[in-house]
Chains A and B, each alone.
Chain A
Amino acid sequence: MKKYPFKFLDSYDKEDRNVFFGRDEEIDALYEMVFQSSIVLIYGASGTGKTSLINCGLAGKFQPHDWLALMIRRGSDINKSLEEALNNSGGKIDLDSKETKWFDEWGDESGKSNEELSAIGKSIRAVYQNSFRPIYLIFDQFEELFILGTVAEQQLFIENVKGILQSSQPVKLIFSIREEYLGYLFEFERAIPQLMQKKLRVEPMTLEKVKQVIVGAASFEGSNITIKAGEEDSVAEAIFQKVKGGKKSLTIQLPFLQVFLDKLYLNITGDESRQTPAEFTFARVNEMGEIGDVLIDFLEDQVLNISKTLKSKYKDLNIELTWKILSPFATLEGTKEPINKKELIDRLPELSKSMVDDVVAAFINGRILRHDENSDTYEIAHDALAKPIAEKRSVEETALLEIKRLIKSQVGVKEEAREYFTEKQLAFIEPYLSKFQPSKEEREWVDKSQKFIQEQKELATKKKLQEITKKKRERRKWFAIVFAIVVISLGFIVVREIQDRKSQIEELQKDLERQMRLDRTQELLSLVMKGRGEKYENLSDSVLDQILLKERTYPLDSLIEIKASVSPSNAGGENKNYTMWLDVPSFRKDEIKEVQYNFCRGFTDRLRVSKDPTSSFAIGYLGWGYCPTMRIDVILESGDTIQRNFSFERYFEENPPID
C-alpha cells in the first residue's frame, strides 16, 4: 500500500524512518554524542522536531537489541513518571529481596557491585538484565519540570539522576528541552556538571532542509506524493516562501510546514483518508493562499467545525464555549499544560461533563489534543497552538487564572509561612470567588485575610480617632490659657482704660462679624455637601463634619467608586452615550495621577486613560456595545495602583435602559 509521508502534528517514530528527511546531519551528530557521554542534551525552539529527531532519527540508527528507549514525560511528577516507566519495563524491585545479595562479593573495577546501588540503580539493573539492551532514558519536554514542577520535585530528580549515573549500569540519559528554558538548567548543571557537555541544537528548518524533506517525501518508494518532474526545486522553494509568509526569516517552523503540506495535499485530492496519490506542482502550490500562521488558521477552523458539528447535540455550545474548553490546556503564559479529565471538568464547573467529553474527543480526532496514556492526561498537540488559545481568553478568564495562581501560591506553603492577601489583592479576588471552586483551605485563607484586613482597618481608625481627640483636648487647653490671659488683659484694660469704651464696642462689633462669617461658612459647607448628591442632604452639621473628616483622612482606596451613566444618543439609533468617571472627594483628586479603563475584546482602543481631575477622570464613548465587566486601574501619584471592577451587567440590572 502506498504511504502518506506527512505526519501533521504528530512526531515521527522509529517506524517512520524511511519518511523522515532533512535531519541527517543532526542524527549523525547525536549518534556520535551518545557514545561520548552518558548525558546528551537536545535543545531548540518549539516545533523544530526535537522529539522526532530522537524517536525516529536516533532510534533508527540502532538495532533493536542495542536500544531500549524509555520515553519519560513529566506527567504529574517527573520522579513518579520515571519510576513508572522503569517499573513497566521490568524494573520493579523488592528492596528487601535477598535473592541477589550474594552478588555483592564480586564488585570489581567496573564498579558493578550491588552494594552502592541506589534504589533507582537497582531498578535500572533489573530493567537491563531483563533484555540486555542498553537503556536510553529520554526526558522529552523536559522544560515541564521547571514550568510546572515544584522545587522539591526538581531536587529529588537531581538526586535520582545522580543515582542513575553512579549505578554503572548501561544507561544513558537524553534530555530534550525548548531552548528558551535552557537557563532553568542552571541548578541542575551545578549538580550534574556533564549535563551541558554534549549538547545539540536542533536548528529550525532552512530552505535547504525543507527541500530535502519535500523531495525526500516525494521520492521514496511507496510514497503517494510525487512532484512534477523538473519542478522539484521551485515547488520546494514556493512551499518554503508560503510557509514563511511575510516574515524576514531564513527558517520556518516544522509544524507549520507539516500542516501546510497536509493542506496542500487535501487541496489537490480532497481525500481525507489520504490514500489518493497527489502530484505537487508549482501551480498548485501557488494556488494556496498566503498563509502566515497556518497552524492558527487550522486551529480556528477546527474550533468552528467542532462548535458547528456538536451544536445539534448541545444547544448551548458556541465558538466561545469551545475556546473556553480548550483554555485549561494552556498556561497563563501560553505554553501547554497537560491536565487530566477530572481537573478539566473541575475547571469548567458550569459546563456539562458530556459536552466537555465530546468536545475533547473531537479535538483528539482533529489532532489538536492528544491523550497520554501513561499519565492519563490530555494536552495540546503542539506548543505553537497554546499561544492562540491563551490569547482567546476573556479578561475574566485570564483574571480567574491569575487569581487561582495567586491563591495557590499562598495556600501552597505551610500556614506559618503564608502571608495574608492584601486589601488590593482581596479586591481583585472577591468578584471572582464565586466563579471557581476554591478548596476549603483556600476559601478559609481568603476569609481569614478579610478578617485580618478588617481588624487592621479598625485598629487604624481607632488610633486616628484617639490622636484627633488628643489634639483637640490640647487645643482646648491652650485656648483656655489664652482665654484666661485675654480676660485678665481685658479686665486690666477695663480698669485702666475705661475711656476707651468706644473702641471696645468696636472690637465687640468685629467679634460679632467674625462669628457671623463663621456661621456663613458652615452654611456654605452644608450647601456644597448637599450639591454632592442626595445622600448628603438632610444631614446635620456634625454628621457632615464626620464625613468630611473621613474623606480627608481615610485611605484613598476606601473612598473611590466607579460611576457610569448611559444615555441614548442624540442622533437616535442603537448607539448610546457611555460615560464613566471616578467618584472621589474633590480635595483628594490631586493624589491621583491617572485612571486607566481596560476595555474587553471588541473595542479598538482596549485601554483608555484619563488624566483630567476636573472631569473626575471621566471618559466617554458613543457606541452600541459595552464590556460586561471592566477593570479600572487608578494610578496614584505615589506609584500605587488601586484596582476596581465595574460591571455594566450589574449597572443595567440596577438601571434598566430606557429607550
Chain B
Amino acid sequence: MKTIRIFIASSSELKEDRDQFRLFISRENDRLHKKGLYLELIQWEYFLDAISDSRLQSEYNKAIESCDIVVCLFFTKVGKYTAEEFDTAYQVFKNKGKPKIWTYFKNAQINTGSITDEINTLLAFKKKIGDLGHFYTEYTNIDNLINQYRSQLDKFLADFEEETKLPSDPKSKEPKEIKNTFNDLLTPNLLKAIAKYNRKAGDFLSANSDWEENKHLVQTAKRIIINGYVGVIGVQIRKLMSIGEEEYSESKMKRYLENCHMTAKRGLQLICYALISSLWDHKVKNEVNFSGPQQDALVKFFRNAAEEDMLAFSELLKNLLEIYSANKLEFLISEAMDLLPLLNEGSKFQSACEYLNQLPKLIQNSSFKLSDCLESEKNLSVVLEHLGFLAEYRMISINEIDFNQQRNDEEGLYLHNYTFLDGEIQANNDQNKVRRESSPVISHAVILFKDNYRKNINLDPFIIDYNGLALTGGSKICFYSFCNTYDDLNLNFNFIEDNSRVVIKKSNNPKPSDSDLNALNRWLSSKENRKDMNFDKVYSLFYHAKKSLTGIEEETTEDLF
C-alpha cells in the first residue's frame, strides 16, 4: 500500500469546509485502496495537541517535508499559522520540488459587517504568492472545491503511478533535490577562456583563486564575462546568467535552452558576418577567387528566404575560412582561422554545434528535462570557449560625425559620436560617447575592432544599429536574418534583445540628384528624409555586396545614391 500524505492548512473560519474535505478524502480512500493507494490526511488540530510550542516550527517542517501535497484554504483572512505553514511548504518545495502546494481561495459573498482588519492579511498574502509566481485557484462552495480538487488529484495520481512504475530506470527520474546548478559550469569555463584576452578577467582570476567560494565574487565574475565578451554575445550571456538566477520552473528550463541555442548561433553569425563583410572589401580589390562550392555557399547565404540554422552557419563559416586560407587573405580577427580544423564532423566543437542545433525541436516538443539544460550548458561552454578570443575585440556603433573648426584653428576636430556596445547595452543607453579625432570615419555603422579603432571591420549591412540609423537615440542592434528573395526583396533583421523581426525596405522617397543642389539641401534638411536615406543605404549595400560576391544582380537594386 502506497501512502500519499496530504497536509491541510486553513484558518478557523473554514472549519466546515475542512470537515467536508475530510469526508471527501475518506470517500476517495474507499475507491483508491483497490489501487493500493491510501490518502493520509494531516490536520493541524491534531497536530497542535501533540507537540509543544517550542518545537512547533521544526515539527511543522518535518511534517510538511514528509507530505506529498499541501492544501491551503483561505477565505477572508490568513491566520498566522496558515501563512507559516504555506511558507514552510513553499521553502521545502523550492529545495526539493516536493510537496505540491495547491492553494484555494474561497470566493463567496460575505457580509460587509463581518469584515475586519484581517482582510488585509488576505490581500497581502494573495499579492505575495502572486509575486512568487505561485498559481492558485478560487472556489465558490465546498462542492466546487471538491470538484476542482478531484481533477487535480486525479492528475497527480496518474503522474504518481507513472513515476512509481519505473523505479528501476535511474535515467527517467530527475534528481530528487533540485539544486540550482545553472551557470555553475559556464561561469568558470568562460572566465578561464577569456582570461588571456581580457585584462579584467585575467586580473580577477589571479587575484581571487578562490572566487567560486564567495557568492559576491561569483556575481562579479558573471558580470565580467557579460561585459567581457564582445557586445552582442554579452547580451546573450546576460540572459543566461539572469535565467540561471531564477527559481526552478518549467519556463526557466525552456528559456535557458532557447538562449543557449541563441547564444551559440549569434557567435557563429558574428564571425560569419565579419568574414563576409571583409571578403567584400577584398573582392572589390579583386584579390579573391572562389571555387564552385564556395560560390554556392555564398549564393545560398544571399538568396536564403528563411534564416539559416546553426549548422548552415557552421558550414558557411567553414567555406569562408577556406576562401581566406586559399586566397591568403588578411582577416582582422586572425584567431578565427584556428576554427577551421574544428569545423569537421566529429570534432568537439562541431558536435557541440550539432547538439545545440537540435534544441529548438526539443523545446517545440516540450520534451526537455533538467538534464538537457546541463547538457546544453556544457555544449554552449565548448562553443564559447573556442570563441574566447572575441573578448579581445570591441564593438561600437558610430553615429554622426561632427566637424568643429573655429577661427584661427589650424585644423578642425572631428567629433565621433558613438555608442559602446557591451553586454548590457540594450538596458543602458547611457553609453553614448564622443571621441575627438583628426579625421572622419565612416558613420552610421556598427564596427568591430581590437585596439586600433581605425583598423576595423565595418559590419554594415549585416549588423546594423536600427536606432542609430533612425536617428532616435539609443541603440537597437539587429542581425541580418534573411531576405524576401522571391517576393518584395525586403530585408529581414532580428533585434538581438528579443529576436523580434525588423524589416528594411526600400523607401519611396528617393534622394534628389546631386545636380540640383537646392532641392538636395532642402531634402536633406528634413530628419525624416535623412532617416529614409540611411535605411535605403542599408538596403542597397546588401544588394551591392550580393552582386559583388555572387555576381547576381536583382532587378530592383539600381543605386539611388
Binding site for B on A (CB under 8 A): 1, 15, 32, 35-38, 61-66, 99-100, 102-103, 105-106, 108-112, 129-135, 165-166, 168-172, 197-198, 272-273, 275, 305-306, 309-310, 312-313, 357-358, 361-362, 364-366, 371, 373
Name which residue of chain A comes closest to B76, CB basis: A365
- 19 extra A-B contacts, CB within 8 A, seeds A36-B429, A309-B111, A364-B123: A1-B138, A38-B430, A61-B498, A99-B214, A109-B394, A110-B227, A110-B422, A130-B219, A132-B238, A134-B426, A134-B427, A134-B428, A135-B427, A171-B428, A172-B429, A273-B107, A273-B140, A361-B112, A364-B119
> Is B242 at the interface (CB under 8 A from chain A)?
yes
With A65-B255, A310-B112 as known contacts, state yes or no: A108 contacts B242, CB within 8 Å.
no
Whether the pair A66, B473 counts as a contact (CB closer than 8 A) is: no
Whether the pair A66, B242 counts as a contact (CB closer than 8 A) is: yes
Complex interface: chain A residues within 8 A of B267 (CB): none
The number of residue pairs between A and B whose CB atoms lie closer than 8 Å in the complex comes to 144
Name which residue of chain A comes closest to B111, CB basis: A309
Could you list 20 A-B pairs, sorted by A, with CB under 8 Å? A1-B138, A32-B472, A38-B428, A38-B430, A61-B498, A64-B251, A103-B220, A108-B227, A109-B394, A110-B422, A131-B246, A132-B245, A135-B427, A168-B430, A170-B427, A171-B427, A358-B113, A361-B116, A361-B117, A365-B115
> Is B356 at the interface (CB under 8 A from chain A)?
no
Q: How far is the CA of A412 from the CA of B529 in the complex (A)?
A: 56
Whether the pair A35, B476 counts as a contact (CB closer than 8 A) is: yes
Complex interface: chain B residues within 8 A of A130 (CB): 219, 245
> Is B533 at the interface (CB under 8 A from chain A)?
no
Complex interface: chain B residues within 8 A of A66 (CB): 239, 242, 427, 497-498
Complex interface: chain B residues within 8 A of A357 (CB): 116-117
Encode contact with A along B107-145: 1 for CB under 8 Å, 0 otherwise. Answer: 111111101110110011001001000000110100000
Complex interface: chain B residues within 8 A of A106 (CB): 199-200, 203-204
Whether the pair A37, B429 counts as a contact (CB closer than 8 A) is: yes
With A65-B243, A171-B428, A273-B107 as known contacts, state yes or no: A35 contacts B497, CB within 8 Å.
yes
Q: Which of B241-265 contact A (CB under 8 A)?
A: 241-243, 245-246, 251, 255
Whether the pair A361, B107 counts as a contact (CB closer than 8 A) is: no
Q: How far is the CA of A103 from the CA of B245 in the complex (A)?
A: 22
Tally of chain B residues near chain A (CB < 8 A): 60
Complex interface: chain A residues within 8 A of B481 (CB): none
Complex interface: chain A residues within 8 A of B219 (CB): 129-130
> Is B216 at the interface (CB under 8 A from chain A)?
yes
> Is B393 at the interface (CB under 8 A from chain A)?
no
Binding site for A on B (CB under 8 A): 107-113, 115-117, 119-120, 123-124, 127, 130, 137-138, 140, 199-200, 203-204, 207, 214, 216, 219-220, 222-223, 226-227, 238-239, 241-243, 245-246, 251, 255, 394, 420, 422, 424, 426-431, 433, 467, 472-476, 497-498
Most buried by B among A106, A309, A312: A106
Instruction: Write the nearest CB–CB distance from B133 to chain A, whole angstroms.
Output: 9
Name which residue of chain B comes closest to A102, CB basis: B207
Name which residue of chain A comes closest to B141, CB basis: A273
Question: 4 closest pairs, A vs B, by CB?
Answer: A134-B427, A170-B427, A36-B474, A132-B242
Complex interface: chain A residues within 8 A of B216 (CB): 99-100
Instruction: Write the nearest CB–CB distance from B39 to chain A, whole angstroms.
Output: 24
With A35-B426, A361-B117, A365-B119 as known contacts, state yes or no: A132 contacts B226, CB within 8 Å.
yes
Most buried by A among B113, B200, B427: B427
Q: How far is the CA of A103 from the CA of B216 in the complex (A)?
A: 11
Complex interface: chain B residues within 8 A of A65 (CB): 239, 242-243, 246, 255
Whether the pair B111, A110 counts as a contact (CB closer than 8 A) is: no
Complex interface: chain A residues within 8 A of B431 (CB): 110-111, 168
Which of A37, A108, A171, A313 is in CB contact (< 8 Å) with B113? Answer: A313
Complex interface: chain B residues within 8 A of A62 (CB): 498
Complex interface: chain A residues within 8 A of B238 (CB): 132
Whether the pair B429, A133 counts as a contact (CB closer than 8 A) is: no
Which of A36, A310, A373 is in CB contact (< 8 Å) with B467? Answer: A36
Whether the pair A273, B108 counts as a contact (CB closer than 8 A) is: yes
Complex interface: chain A residues within 8 A of B428 (CB): 38, 134, 168-171
Complex interface: chain B residues within 8 A of A361 (CB): 112, 115-117, 119
Complex interface: chain A residues within 8 A of B137 (CB): 1
Instruction: Write the nearest CB–CB distance from A542 to chain B, whole angstroms.
Output: 70
Whether the pair A373, B242 counts as a contact (CB closer than 8 A) is: no
Q: How far is the CA of A35 from the CA of B477 in the complex (A)?
A: 10
Q: How far is the CA of A190 from the CA of B449 in the complex (A)?
A: 38
Complex interface: chain A residues within 8 A of B138 (CB): 1
Complex interface: chain A residues within 8 A of B110 (CB): 365
Complex interface: chain A residues within 8 A of B239 (CB): 63, 65-66
